[in-house]
Amino acid sequence: MSDRMTWEAIAHLVPLGSRVLDLGCGDGAMLDYLQAQRGCSGYGIEIDDANVQACVKRGVNVIQLNLDEGLSMFADQSFDVVLQIDTLQHLRNAEVVLRETARVGRTGIVAFPNFAHWPNRVSVLAGRMPVTRRLPYQWYDTPNIRVGTHADLEVLAQRNQLQILDSFGIQNGRMIRWMPNLLASTSVLKFSR
Amino acid sequence: MLIATPQSKHFATPLDLQSGASIRDYSLSYETYGTLNAERSNAVLVCHALNASHHVAGVYEGQEKSAGWWDNMIGPGKPVDTDRFFVIGVNNLGSCFGSTGPMHENPDTGRPYGADFPVMTVEDWVAAQARLLDALGIDRLAAVMGGSLGGMQALSWSLQYPKRVGHAVVVASAPNLTAENIAFNEVARRAIVTDPDFHGGNFYAHDVIPKRGLRIARMIGHITYLSDDVMNEKFGRELRQGMDLKFTTQDIEFQIESYLRYQGDKFAEYFDANTYLLITRALDYFDPARSHDGNLSRALAAATAKFLLVSFTTDWRFSPKRSRELVKALLDNKRDVSYAEIDAPHGHDAFLLDDARYMGVVRSYFERISREVGAEQTGSSA
């Protein structure tokens, strides 16, 4: 999971008072923050029982769903912002869910670990899969079934005719606009249909 | 241990029913647990399903085995904590557990209502419950909750009296019954109605009980409340006696047969045949979207409560799909809703059983309600 600095940086991309759908909302911390600090409202989608309970406890609306089964419950353009923070890499149907994100939200914001961050490149050049603070798993036990780069994410968005509104990296809570594919451990893409 | 005390309230003013009929001089049985706070903001109404009553929690004085039907959910320190909330259980009209029902005297004739007991709808029950709350001086509920048919009442509360409901907790329920579900109810009703001891519903006068019909009704109901897996795990193909087949077509051979007959016999001892018909019919009729051309989203526009919905993956009688329809309709209206889909093996019965995830979600939700309404701990858990 992304650290607090990363998601706070992303939270500031969400306009004040937005209606937000947070796909893979975890324990609801992001939505809680958006509700309390930015006057937002909305729902989280989560599959894990313990996370669902954590959301309910903190008063965050949560709907227990498997994202791989799609977002048919949600109407077109029914949210200002749809977030996918550290979610894409866990999805079997990552491409479908990306398209669904753009259908349901006027704006989509995807953040996921950038495999092309330079320490990862160094590690692979040395012949080993990277194990870092951002990608803490061993290759054989990682829950990240989709491994991609900042550049890959842009290509996937373009392939689905999504309009890229912004694209940058985040490193230690700071926005990285210069060579994000090399210098940022988290890749962020803001897009619309 | 929580000691429950049943109470009863009489209502002289006629209650107009959806059918156009009305009922007068009726009484409602109810129980309350916990203490209503000074602001009267901590009341929780619990609605019951087919085979239950106002006896929701606790035990009766000196009767250790008389635990309420949702005693695992409601009580001191339980998910719905009676140290914080004032919980009300009420028996619905037409039932056979205390409130006015078909076995009671019809004031118009001086004889038991029998088949003349007016047909009740979920909306009628809710209207009757609202009158009870009026009498108890409760204007607004912190929450209304129920499972199955009880969930339908909780939903209906949010539509009929939106301003009186803070939260609606709807467990293992549905926006209406499917054709298959109505079909099961109809088989059960036919079993009762075709029992020669039914006498068109006026069996009280003949001093008999249509037990055969009730038994079959309960057997078929029971099958649908369980899942295939649970039944196989519990009974499998186990024989009742020994290892050898008896080659009999009428005697009990398999354990499952023995179990169903036992459940049927037990049920026929205490349940009223007319009540069974009335309650299953109320289930069949419930359909808030009906007056909105079948559009559930428009039907639920009236609801302003916050919702918690829970379903169970193996519940095929009130499947998760049906709960998701409710979630979608609430989303379409931008209502606050949370939804938990519990992967429990027990079928529809799961809503009455202990499952840590289920209990945990409800507990967390009520902790949140407690913070919102300032439901401080009022009693001790002793």
Q: Which of A57, A61, A64 sits opposite B364 (nearest CB)?
A: A57
Q: What are phi and psi of B135, to 5 degrees?
A: -65, -30
Mean pLDDT of chain B: 96
Name the pLDDT band for B171 (thresholds 50, 70, 90): very high
**B94: its two tokens:** 């037409």
Q: Which residues of B are catalytic?
A: 148, 315, 348
A-B C-beta contacts closer than 8 Å: 53
The CA distance from B25 to B17, in Å, is: 14
Residue B172: which region, alpha, beta or left (left: phi > 0; alpha: psi -120 to 50)?
left
CB contact under 8 Å between B324 and A73, yes or no, is yes
The CA distance from B214 to B268, in Å, is: 5
Distance, in angstroms, between A181 CA and closest chain B CA?
Answer: 37
Mutate to test the interface with B, among A18, A43, A56 (most CBs of B within 10 A): A56
**By C-alpha distance, which of B18, B190, B52, B201 is closest to B121?**
B18
Name the pLDDT band for B1 (thresholds 50, 70, 90): confident
State the burial class of residue A135 (Cβ atoms within 10 Å of its Cβ: 0-12, 13-18, 19+).
buried
Name the pLDDT band for B378 (thresholds 50, 70, 90): low
* Beta bridge partners of residue A113, listed in sequence order: A186
The CA distance from B100 to B81, in Å, is: 30
The answer to whether residue B368 neighbours chain A at the CB level (below 8 Å) is: yes
Annotate B9-37 with b (16+ C-beta within 10 A) or e (fewer). eebeeebebeeeeebeebbbbbbbbbebb
Q: What are phi and psi of B229, to 5 degrees?
A: -60, -45
**By C-alpha distance, which of B327, B358, B363 is closest to A43?**
B327
The CA distance from A105 to B105, in Å, is: 60
Spatial neighbors of A71 by CB under 8 A, at least 6 apart, are A23, A45, A97, A100, A101, A103, A104
Q: Which of B342, B343, B364 sits opposite A56 (nearest CB)?
A: B364
pLDDT of B382 higher than 60:
no
CB contact under 8 Å between B360 and A53, yes or no, is yes
The answer to whether residue B376 neighbours chain A at the CB level (below 8 Å) is: no
CB contact under 8 Å between A63 and B361, yes or no, is no
pLDDT tens-digit series, residues B114-141: 999 999 999 999 999 999 999 999 999 9
The CA distance from A82 to A192, in Å, is: 10
DSSP assignment letter at A166: E
Name the pLDDT band for B88 (thresholds 50, 70, 90): very high
Distance, in angstroms, between B337 CA and closest chain A CA?
Answer: 6
Name the pLDDT band for B21 (thresholds 50, 70, 90): very high
Q: Chain centroid to CA B60: how far?
A: 20
Give pLDDT, residue A6: 81
Contacts of B327 in chain A (CB under 8 A): 63, 73
- The interface pTM score, or ipTM, of the predicted complex is 0.94
Are the C-beta atoms of A20 and A108 separated by less than 8 Å?
no
Q: What is the pTM of this model?
A: 0.95
Task: Give long-range contacts, CB 8 A cutoff, 24+ apart: A163-169.
Answer: A163/A191, A163/A192, A163/A193, A164/A189, A164/A190, A164/A191, A165/A107, A165/A190, A165/A191, A165/A192, A166/A13, A166/A190, A169/A114
Over residues B64-87, the mean pLDDT reads 97
The CA distance from B168 to A115, in Å, is: 45
pLDDT tens-digit series, residues A50-71: 999 999 999 999 999 999 888 9
The answer to whether residue A77 neighbours chain B at the CB level (below 8 Å) is: no
The answer to whether residue B308 neighbours chain A at the CB level (below 8 Å) is: yes
Name the pLDDT band for B381 (thresholds 50, 70, 90): very low
Name the pLDDT band for B3 (thresholds 50, 70, 90): very high
Give pLDDT, residue B97: 97
Q: How many CA atoms lie within 13 A of A24 on its CB side?
A: 22
Q: Chain centroid to CA B288: how far?
A: 18
The CA distance from B49 to B318, in Å, is: 13
The CA distance from B93 to B16, in Å, is: 13
The CA distance from B103 to B274, in Å, is: 8
**By C-alpha distance, which of B125, B128, B114 is closest to B277?**
B114
